[in-house]
Copies of this chain bind each other. A is one copy, B any other.
Amino acid sequence: METVVMKFGGTSVATPEKIIGVAERAISEKEKGNRVVIVVSAMGKTTDTLQALADEITANPSKREMDMLLATGEQVTISLLAMAFKTLGHEALSFTGWQAGIETESVPRNARIEHIHTERLEQALSEGFFCVVAGFQGVDRAGNITTLGRGGSDTTAVALAAALNARKCDIYTDVDGVYTSDPRYVNGARKLEQISYDEMLELANLGAGVLHPRAVEFAKNNNVPLSVRASYSDEAGTIIQEVVTVEKNLIVRGVAFEPGIARVTVTYKKPFNGSLANIFTKLAEHHIDVDIIVQSITNDFPPSVSFSIKQDHMDEVKRVLDTYQSDIGFVSTDFEVGLSKVSIVGSGMVSNPGVAAQMFDILRRQDIPVKMVSTSEIKVSVVVPENDMHKSANALHEEYGLE
């Protein structure tokens, strides 16, 4: 008997009726002859409600206690889902993160899974139970409850699929697959049948929002066949795997975009030595994700480094820079907000030089200023004004023939 992991996000379990629907869906998967593990998030707006309670107590809650608080969200869902199986005549057991043996590092609010002790789940599966596991949460070695950060439930699902040697991991969500771009804003965006881990990783990192990058990375490293599909229909979704059958000979497979970006520029008096490492070490120590980094040293200007962050993190970045100004040794900082990131992704790029140049040309023809650029073997990202984000995406989607 093979094991299948199914993951349902917050909107898919937002009400008791929807939870019963999830149970029905999992039962049909079992009736195909599979052992089934279901990973769920907190119901609908539960996390917001819990956050609001914490906000009433303090503006700056302890991270450990936020994990303690937020972990209750999935615990409610798993108990209700296990009850739903029972009422439909099936046996199920719910497991919190620690009960499912999900051991993480000791980093509250953003812990990585270090190991999964699968004995209890294996036992329950072999006895014929549906195993309902709380996503997003684990326990560190000292016995503190931790959470995995944004998209953590996806990571839980993929990590369990890897640990249990599952045949597949299906991520059920409120979209029916991975698209060439966001159909809400880009004309002609269409669903992809397949996409490679690497392409998905770039798209996930680029804020396509369907799957968390950590989950995709975990799937890639453990070769877990992943799919993204709709919780509301039986249609096939998008399969994410190592080798992709090329649909057309597309150089670019998707256009992603993400609003809410800020650019930070740090200026030094004289050429620095080691300071650059200092900045990013300090930011990393405070768990602030830095995305694009651009360094420009010319004789005409004082040396500076620019980097992009999420606008939400700006206050914390300011605080860290202020605190460590003398360590880092900079003169001034500048913050530009109201930016966005637009990216093109495709495995075909690696063998097609000039893709970036073509991209800049398309944007120039639309009079869109490019503030920062970052490239990898399979993607090119540009930072542009947030006002131009949708216009950029539409132009790129059309010009690269994704419709």
A57 x B94 contact (CB < 8 A): no
State whether A83 and B99 are in contact (beta carbons under 8 Å apart), knowing that A68-B94, A76-B53, A120-B143 are contacts in the complex. Answer: no
Within 8 Å by CB of A56, from B16, B62, B145, lies B16
A93 to B84, CA, bound (A): 34
Range of interface residues on chain A?
35 or more
A80 x B53 contact (CB < 8 A): yes
Chain A contacts with B in 35-54, Cβ cutoff 8 A: 50, 53-54
Chain A contacts with B in 72-98, Cβ cutoff 8 A: 72, 75-76, 78-80, 82-84, 86-87, 93-94, 96, 98
State whether A68 and B57 are in contact (beta carbons under 8 Å apart), knowing that A99-B143, A143-B99 are contacts in the complex. Answer: no
Residues of B within 8 A of A16 (CB): 53, 56-57
Is the CB of A344 closer than 8 A to any CB of chain B?
A: no
B61 x A86 contact (CB < 8 A): yes
Is the CB of A175 closer than 8 A to any CB of chain B?
A: no
A64 to B72, CA, bound (A): 16
State whether A83 and B62 are in contact (beta carbons under 8 Å apart), knowing that A50-B76, A56-B16 are contacts in the complex. Answer: yes
Residues of B within 8 A of A66 (CB): 79, 83
Is the CB of A71 closer than 8 A to any CB of chain B?
A: yes
A144 to B68, CA, bound (A): 18
Chain A contacts with B in 142-156, Cβ cutoff 8 A: 143-145
A46 to chain B: closest residue by CB: B72
Q: Which among A20, A60, A86 has the highest number of chain B CB atoms within 10 Å?
A: A86
A96 to B68, CA, bound (A): 9
A71 x B75 contact (CB < 8 A): yes
Within 8 Å by CB of A57, from B57, B69, B83, B99, lies B83
Chain A contacts with B in 8-67, Cβ cutoff 8 A: 15-17, 19-20, 50, 53-54, 56-58, 60-62, 64-66
How many copies the complex holds: the figure is: 2
Chain A contacts with B in 128-176, Cβ cutoff 8 A: 143-145
A93 to B19, CA, bound (A): 33
Within 8 Å by CB of A58, from B87, B120, B144, B145, lies B87
A197 to B20, CA, bound (A): 48
A54 x B80 contact (CB < 8 A): yes
A134 to chain B: closest residue by CB: B68
A57 to B20, CA, bound (A): 7
A98 to B17, CA, bound (A): 31
Closest 7 CB pairs of A and B: A16-B56, A69-B79, A58-B87, A72-B72, A68-B79, A65-B79, A65-B82
20 of the cross-chain contacts (CB-CB < 8 Å) are A16-B53, A16-B56, A19-B57, A53-B80, A54-B80, A57-B83, A58-B86, A58-B87, A60-B87, A62-B86, A65-B83, A65-B94, A66-B79, A68-B94, A68-B96, A69-B80, A72-B72, A72-B76, A99-B143, A99-B144
Known contacts A17-B56, A64-B94, A65-B82; can you find 5 more A-B pairs with CB under 8 A?
A: A16-B53, A53-B80, A65-B80, A68-B78, A96-B145
A interface residue numbers (CB < 8 A to B): 15-17, 19-20, 50, 53-54, 56-58, 60-62, 64-66, 68-69, 71-72, 75-76, 78-80, 82-84, 86-87, 93-94, 96, 98-99, 120, 143-145
